[in-house]
Amino acid sequence: MSAILPPSERVWYKHPIDRVEGTWIAIALTWCLVMFFMMIGWHIWGKQNLSTETYRTTAEQYTAKVQAMVDKYTVRTETEQKIPVVAAPPGSDIFLVARLWSFWPILELENGKTYRLHLSSMDYNHGFSLQPANINIQIVPGYEHVVTITPNQSGPYSVVCNEFCGIGHHTMVSRLYVK
């Protein structure tokens, strides 16, 4: 038989499967099932994936929530742009806005306390990467992503956009403080 010519019998699926071919199909199917159940196990027992809630929102609704939090819990401002540093009480909802090319406001959290972090974008898709905690979330406009976080280490954390968002993407960094 030649690779150029079509096969003489067109009904290929009626031919018996060779033993070696059947063995490889069984191995591949078994491996796929193992990986599928490992993903479920990693999510439940491995604590590697964040369980998030997502809600539809508008830029105006989300901005109003963020502004209310900033007005209520601002403790100081930082940087040349006078970005507010917000220290909300433990157990409360905290909000972070992503927009070209910044995160707003700066958050100050307490070590070992739980918070509900709300994230939304005002313009394009952005990424939220919290380092060194290695939390990565894609932030989509029109949606409010909610993550329950409990910081377990004191110190400054870096917030970086890890989703390319335009020419100023490399400047889209911020920080988060844990006391």
- pLDDT (tens digit per residue) in 82-117: 889 999 999 899 999 999 888 989 999 999 999 999
CA distance linking residue 106 with residue 101, whole number of Å: 14
Question: Does the reported pTM lie above 0.85?
Answer: no
Is CATH 3.40.50.300 correct for 52-178?
no
Domains of the chain by residue range: 52-178
Burial 125-158 (b: 16+ CB within 10 A, else e): ebbbbbeeeeeebebbbeebbbbebebeeeeebe
Q: What is the pLDDT of residues 20-48, one digit of tens each?
A: 989 999 999 999 999 999 888 887 777 66
Please name the amino acid found at residue 60.
E
pLDDT at 2: 58
CA distance linking residue 86 with residue 69, whole number of Å: 8
Instruction: Single out the residue of 45, 94, 107 nearest to residue 68, CA to CA.
Output: 94
